Amino acid sequence: MTKGDDKKMATDRRTKYTKSVIRQALFDLLKEKPLNKITVTDICKMADINRSTFYSYYEDVYALLTQIQNELFENIVLTLANDNWFNDILHLIDQNRDLCQVLIGPHGDSSFIRQLMYLGYDNSMRVWQKIYPNADATMLDYSYAYLANGVIGILENWVCSNYKLSIEQVGKLLMGITMNGLNFLEQGASAYEV
C-alpha cells in the first residue's frame, strides 16, 4: 500500500463519518419538527460541522433527504426481485429503524409513502394476471390500491408503535390480509357486476 492509498482511505473514512453525522442530525431533527422547518444551520449545529462542509456534500436539506430516500428505494427495489420479498422488506425496515421512523412518522414525508406504495405495482400486476387470468385489469388496479394502502397503513402503525410486533408477526398479518383480499379476484369479472 502506498502513501497515496493511505491518504485516500483516510479521506474516505472521514467522508463516510461526516455524511453519517449529517444524516443522524437530520434524523434527530425530524423527530422534533417537520422537514420544512429544518435548516442547514440546524443540521450543522447538531452534527458539529461547518456549513461549508455540509454544502460540499449536499445542495440543501431536501437534497440530503432525497439522497437518503433514493438509497432506501434502491434497496427495496432489489428486494422485490427476491421470492421472499415481503419478509425482506420488513427486515430492511427493521435494519433502518431511525430512517423509517422519521420518513413514516408524524413529521414524515408523504411523497415517500406514496412512492413506497407504488414500488411493487408492476411486479404485483404481472404476478396477479398470471394467478387470476379472469380478473379485469381495472379491478386488479383497484385491488392493488386497496391492498397497498392497507400494507402501508400497517407498516406505518408498526413503525410508529416503535416496532411493537415482531417481524414475523407483521409478516404473517400482512400475508394473511393480502391473500384473503386477493381471493376475491378468483371470481373474475362477475364478482364486480351489480
Is residue 44 located within the same domain as residue 80? no
Model pTM greater than 0.95?
A: no
Which grid coordinates are listed for 32? Answer: 422534533
Q: Mapping DSSP to helix (H, G, I), strand (E, B) and coil, where does residue 59 land?
A: coil
Is residue 52 located within the same domain as residue 112? no
What is the total count of domains within the chain? 2
Is residue 38 located within the same domain as residue 100? no
CATH number at 35 reads: 1.10.10.60
Which grid coordinates are listed for 46? Answer: 447538531
pLDDT of the residue at 194: 45
pLDDT tens string for the chain (194 positions)?
Answer: 555 555 555 678 899 999 999 999 998 998 888 889 999 999 999 999 999 999 999 999 999 999 998 998 888 888 877 777 778 889 999 998 888 888 887 777 777 777 877 888 888 888 888 888 888 889 889 989 988 888 888 988 998 898 999 999 999 888 888 877 767 666 655 555 54
Which domain, by its residues, includes 113?
A: 65-187
Cβ neighbours of residue 164 closer than 8 Å, sequence gap 6 or more: 158
Is residue 50 located within the same domain as residue 82? no
pLDDT of the residue at 170: 92
